[in-house]
Amino acid sequence: MSAQRMLFLTVATLLFTGIGLSGWNQVHWFLYLPAGMLVFAGLTGICPGLMLYRNLGLK
């Protein structure tokens, strides 16, 4: 596992911990999107956010 993928999983874990401590029903659904994207990126190595920014012309 690469350091970048481990970073994605660590940040996702911290986000889900914060969601859990705040209360699953209290947190807005939008906060689940970046956490889910980071879990996906950590497991597959494909980062949707990075792909989006590259398609928009950023390096």
25, burial (CB in 10 Å: exposed 0-12, middle 13-18, buried 19+): exposed
State the average pLDDT over residues 1-28.
92
- Distances in Å between the alpha carbon of 8 and those of 15, 23, 25? 11, 22, 24
Neighbours of 11 (CB within 10 A): 16
State the average pLDDT over residues 28-44.
93
- Give counts: helices (H), strands (E), the chain: 3, 0
Domain count, the chain: 1
Give the predicted TM-score (pTM) of the model: 0.80
Neighbours of 45 (CB within 10 A): 12
pLDDT reading at 44 higher than 90: yes
- Parent domain of 37: 3-55
Average pLDDT, the chain: 92
